[in-house]
Structure 1
Amino acid sequence: MIKYFMISLIGIIVFMNGYCIKKGNIGLLHLHNRIMILNEDKDSYCRMIGRGLMIMGLGALISSLLSACLNNENYLFILLASSAIGVTMCYYAVFKYNMYRKIQS
Protein backbone atom coordinates (compact mmCIF):
# COMPACT_ATOMS: atom_id res chain seq x y z
CA MET A 1 0.00 0.00 0.00
CA ILE A 2 2.87 2.36 0.76
CA LYS A 3 4.31 1.96 -2.75
CA TYR A 4 1.04 3.19 -4.24
CA PHE A 5 1.12 6.18 -1.93
CA MET A 6 4.68 6.97 -3.01
CA ILE A 7 3.82 6.63 -6.70
CA SER A 8 0.82 8.92 -6.30
CA LEU A 9 2.91 11.45 -4.35
CA ILE A 10 5.53 11.47 -7.11
CA GLY A 11 2.73 11.81 -9.65
CA ILE A 12 1.35 14.86 -7.85
CA ILE A 13 4.81 16.47 -7.68
CA VAL A 14 5.49 15.83 -11.38
CA PHE A 15 2.04 17.11 -12.32
CA MET A 16 2.49 20.32 -10.32
CA ASN A 17 5.94 20.92 -11.83
CA GLY A 18 4.45 20.43 -15.28
CA TYR A 19 1.67 22.87 -14.48
CA CYS A 20 4.14 25.52 -13.31
CA ILE A 21 6.29 25.07 -16.41
CA LYS A 22 3.23 25.18 -18.67
CA LYS A 23 2.28 28.53 -17.14
CA GLY A 24 5.65 29.93 -18.29
CA ASN A 25 8.04 29.33 -15.39
CA ILE A 26 10.97 28.25 -17.54
CA GLY A 27 13.32 28.67 -14.57
CA LEU A 28 12.35 25.19 -13.34
CA LEU A 29 14.20 23.65 -16.30
CA HIS A 30 17.94 23.09 -16.49
CA LEU A 31 19.93 25.91 -18.00
CA HIS A 32 21.37 23.69 -20.73
CA ASN A 33 17.82 22.81 -21.86
CA ARG A 34 16.70 26.42 -22.23
CA ILE A 35 19.83 28.26 -23.33
CA MET A 36 19.25 28.00 -27.09
CA ILE A 37 15.52 28.75 -27.08
CA LEU A 38 14.47 31.95 -28.79
CA ASN A 39 12.22 34.34 -26.89
CA GLU A 40 9.35 33.87 -29.32
CA ASP A 41 9.54 30.07 -28.86
CA LYS A 42 9.67 30.18 -25.06
CA ASP A 43 5.90 29.94 -24.54
CA SER A 44 5.49 27.03 -26.96
CA TYR A 45 8.44 25.21 -25.42
CA CYS A 46 7.04 25.65 -21.91
CA ARG A 47 3.58 24.49 -22.98
CA MET A 48 4.91 21.33 -24.62
CA ILE A 49 7.27 20.40 -21.77
CA GLY A 50 4.54 21.18 -19.23
CA ARG A 51 1.99 19.03 -21.01
CA GLY A 52 4.44 16.13 -21.17
CA LEU A 53 5.13 16.35 -17.45
CA MET A 54 1.44 16.73 -16.63
CA ILE A 55 0.63 13.58 -18.64
CA MET A 56 3.32 11.65 -16.78
CA GLY A 57 2.12 12.87 -13.39
CA LEU A 58 -1.54 12.23 -14.12
CA GLY A 59 -0.76 8.73 -15.38
CA ALA A 60 1.19 7.93 -12.22
CA LEU A 61 -1.61 9.25 -10.04
CA ILE A 62 -4.38 7.38 -11.88
CA SER A 63 -2.48 4.09 -12.05
CA SER A 64 -1.53 4.15 -8.38
CA LEU A 65 -5.07 5.01 -7.27
CA LEU A 66 -6.60 2.27 -9.42
CA SER A 67 -4.02 -0.27 -8.27
CA ALA A 68 -4.53 0.61 -4.60
CA CYS A 69 -8.33 0.73 -4.71
CA LEU A 70 -8.80 -2.43 -6.73
CA ASN A 71 -5.84 -4.25 -5.12
CA ASN A 72 -4.50 -5.22 -8.51
CA GLU A 73 -1.20 -4.29 -10.14
CA ASN A 74 -2.50 -4.66 -13.68
CA TYR A 75 -3.14 -0.93 -13.88
CA LEU A 76 0.55 -0.06 -13.87
CA PHE A 77 0.49 -0.20 -17.67
CA ILE A 78 -1.19 3.23 -17.46
CA LEU A 79 1.95 4.49 -15.73
CA LEU A 80 4.16 3.04 -18.45
CA ALA A 81 2.02 4.36 -21.30
CA SER A 82 1.71 7.86 -19.85
CA SER A 83 5.44 7.97 -19.11
CA ALA A 84 6.24 6.98 -22.69
CA ILE A 85 3.90 9.63 -24.08
CA GLY A 86 5.20 12.33 -21.73
CA VAL A 87 8.87 11.58 -22.36
CA THR A 88 8.22 11.57 -26.11
CA MET A 89 6.58 14.99 -25.87
CA CYS A 90 9.49 16.38 -23.84
CA TYR A 91 12.09 14.98 -26.24
CA TYR A 92 10.17 16.37 -29.19
CA ALA A 93 10.07 19.82 -27.58
CA VAL A 94 13.80 19.74 -26.85
CA PHE A 95 14.59 18.62 -30.38
CA LYS A 96 12.22 21.10 -32.02
CA TYR A 97 13.14 24.20 -30.06
CA ASN A 98 16.66 23.49 -28.81
CA MET A 99 18.57 20.87 -30.78
CA TYR A 100 17.41 22.12 -34.16
CA ARG A 101 19.00 25.51 -33.43
CA LYS A 102 22.33 23.82 -32.66
CA ILE A 103 22.23 21.92 -35.94
CA GLN A 104 21.56 25.08 -37.93
CA SER A 105 24.39 27.07 -36.36
Structure 2
Amino acid sequence: METADFSVTHVLALDDDADTVEDVDAVIRARNGIGWTATCMTPRKIAEVMDDRATTGECADGLYLRIPDLVIVREGGLDAMTRALVDLFAKYGMDTDVLPRFDDEEDEDR
Protein backbone atom coordinates (compact mmCIF):
# COMPACT_ATOMS: atom_id res chain seq x y z
CA MET A 1 0.00 0.00 0.00
CA GLU A 2 1.44 3.39 -0.96
CA THR A 3 1.03 6.57 1.07
CA ALA A 4 2.40 10.06 0.47
CA ASP A 5 5.51 9.42 2.60
CA PHE A 6 6.02 5.66 2.70
CA SER A 7 4.95 2.26 1.48
CA VAL A 8 3.54 -0.34 3.83
CA THR A 9 3.40 -4.07 3.26
CA HIS A 10 0.90 -5.89 5.46
CA VAL A 11 1.67 -9.56 6.05
CA LEU A 12 -1.67 -11.37 5.94
CA ALA A 13 -2.40 -14.99 6.74
CA LEU A 14 -4.23 -16.95 4.04
CA ASP A 15 -7.55 -16.72 5.90
CA ASP A 16 -7.26 -13.01 6.84
CA ASP A 17 -9.82 -10.60 5.41
CA ALA A 18 -8.21 -7.25 4.53
CA ASP A 19 -11.37 -5.41 5.64
CA THR A 20 -11.62 -6.97 9.09
CA VAL A 21 -8.18 -8.34 10.10
CA GLU A 22 -7.39 -7.49 13.74
CA ASP A 23 -3.77 -8.61 14.00
CA VAL A 24 -1.24 -7.99 11.25
CA ASP A 25 2.48 -7.41 10.91
CA ALA A 26 3.57 -4.55 8.70
CA VAL A 27 6.80 -3.48 7.04
CA ILE A 28 7.03 0.27 6.49
CA ARG A 29 9.53 1.72 4.06
CA ALA A 30 10.15 5.49 3.74
CA ARG A 31 11.02 7.00 0.37
CA ASN A 32 14.64 7.44 1.58
CA GLY A 33 14.94 3.72 2.36
CA ILE A 34 14.51 3.80 6.14
CA GLY A 35 12.41 0.87 7.30
CA TRP A 36 10.34 0.04 10.37
CA THR A 37 8.22 -2.84 11.56
CA ALA A 38 4.83 -2.66 13.23
CA THR A 39 2.37 -5.11 14.69
CA CYS A 40 -1.14 -3.66 14.50
CA MET A 41 -3.73 -5.18 16.83
CA THR A 42 -7.18 -4.31 18.09
CA PRO A 43 -7.96 -4.33 21.83
CA ARG A 44 -10.23 -7.34 21.26
CA LYS A 45 -7.39 -9.28 19.64
CA ILE A 46 -4.99 -8.30 22.43
CA ALA A 47 -7.47 -9.65 24.99
CA GLU A 48 -7.84 -12.85 22.96
CA VAL A 49 -4.06 -13.38 22.85
CA MET A 50 -3.72 -12.70 26.58
CA ASP A 51 -6.57 -15.10 27.37
CA ASP A 52 -4.88 -17.74 25.23
CA ARG A 53 -1.59 -17.22 27.06
CA ALA A 54 -3.39 -17.57 30.38
CA THR A 55 -4.35 -21.04 29.19
CA THR A 56 -0.90 -21.99 27.85
CA GLY A 57 1.03 -20.52 30.78
CA GLU A 58 3.02 -18.12 28.62
CA CYS A 59 3.74 -14.56 29.80
CA ALA A 60 3.18 -15.42 33.48
CA ASP A 61 -0.13 -17.10 32.69
CA GLY A 62 -1.33 -14.25 30.48
CA LEU A 63 -0.46 -11.52 32.98
CA TYR A 64 1.24 -9.39 30.33
CA LEU A 65 1.84 -9.07 26.60
CA ARG A 66 5.04 -7.56 25.25
CA ILE A 67 5.26 -6.64 21.58
CA PRO A 68 8.01 -4.06 20.90
CA ASP A 69 6.46 -2.69 17.70
CA LEU A 70 2.82 -2.75 18.82
CA VAL A 71 0.36 -0.19 17.45
CA ILE A 72 -3.10 -0.58 18.99
CA VAL A 73 -5.93 0.30 16.62
CA ARG A 74 -9.54 0.73 17.65
CA GLU A 75 -10.92 -1.08 14.59
CA GLY A 76 -9.72 -3.86 12.34
CA GLY A 77 -8.92 -3.72 8.65
CA LEU A 78 -5.91 -2.66 6.64
CA ASP A 79 -7.36 0.77 5.87
CA ALA A 80 -7.65 1.62 9.58
CA MET A 81 -4.19 0.24 10.29
CA THR A 82 -2.66 2.23 7.45
CA ARG A 83 -4.43 5.41 8.62
CA ALA A 84 -2.96 4.85 12.08
CA LEU A 85 0.55 4.51 10.64
CA VAL A 86 0.10 7.62 8.46
CA ASP A 87 -0.95 9.59 11.55
CA LEU A 88 1.90 8.17 13.63
CA PHE A 89 4.53 9.22 11.10
CA ALA A 90 2.83 12.60 10.53
CA LYS A 91 3.21 13.26 14.26
CA TYR A 92 6.76 11.94 14.76
CA GLY A 93 8.26 12.46 11.30
CA MET A 94 10.05 10.09 8.97
CA ASP A 95 13.31 10.14 10.96
CA THR A 96 11.87 8.62 14.11
CA ASP A 97 12.47 5.68 16.39
CA VAL A 98 8.82 5.51 17.43
CA LEU A 99 8.82 2.01 15.90
CA PRO A 100 11.75 -0.41 15.62
CA ARG A 101 13.90 0.27 12.58
CA PHE A 102 15.51 -2.22 10.27
CA ASP A 103 17.82 -1.86 7.34
CA ASP A 104 18.59 -4.01 4.33
CA GLU A 105 21.76 -5.40 5.93
CA GLU A 106 19.67 -6.86 8.76
CA ASP A 107 17.28 -8.32 6.19
CA GLU A 108 20.14 -10.02 4.34
CA ASP A 109 21.40 -11.65 7.56
CA ARG A 110 18.06 -13.37 8.21
Larger Rg over CA atoms: 1
Task: Specify which structure has the bigger relative contact order, considering alpha-carbon pairs within 8 angstroms and separated by 6 or more residues.
Answer: 1
Relative to total residues, which structure has the larger strand share, 1 or 2? 2
TM-score, normalisation: structure 1: 0.28
TM-score, normalisation: structure 2: 0.27
